[in-house]
Amino acid sequence: METKTREQKIEELKRTVRNIPDFPIKGIQFKDVTPLFKTKESLSMLTDVLYEEYKDKGITKIVGIESRGFIMGPIMALKLEAGFVPIRKPGKLPAEVYEEEYQKEYGIDKIQIHKDALSPEDIVLIHDDLLATGGTMEAAYKLVKKMGVKKIYVNFIIELDDLKGRSLFPEDIEVTSLINFSI
């Protein structure tokens, strides 16, 4: 059986992403990640590529952003033998929270994390499915940074390069995306 290289796996995953024109509004070319989770083969390949990327980084917690960060986040946490921490929209977490406000294309939104979710010893990987303008992940990064963790990594399955969301993060933060698209 032929073993695929990392690059071959990523190209195969890229071909699996579905493009949906005019969603959620006319003019937007939505990149749908759900086909990546649809088969055992693509989900396994995605898991393997993410694991290889982070297996030697000492990750102790995966922070997943609601809602699609809740798909691969727990899978990566299990594979990396780390814990999983959700970042959610207001009113969804039952204990005391930190909150961060951020600008969206059509208004202001907020996200929250439990105050006791992370410690200064943690090495954190913040994960979400897609980097576009970067507002949500920037808010998540600020929440995690506020908690004084040892190190932060940022990861996406897909990045829309032309929107330059990556520019919101300090240069010393390792931001990785598996699949890149121009829009």
| 122 neighbors 146 (Cβ within 8 angstroms) | no
Question: Cα(first)–Cα(last) distance of the chain, in Å?
Answer: 36
Whether 105 is catalytic: no
- Catalytic-labelled residue, pool 12, 68, 138, 166: 68
∠ CA 98-86-127 to the nearest 5 degrees?
A: 110
Whether 68 is catalytic: yes
Residue 112: phi, psi to the nearest 5?
Answer: -140, 155
| 23 neighbors 30 (Cβ within 8 angstroms) | yes
Q: How far is CA 52 from CA 46, 47, 76, in A?
A: 10, 9, 10
- The pairing of strands 61-65 and 123-131 is parallel
Active site residues: 68, 101
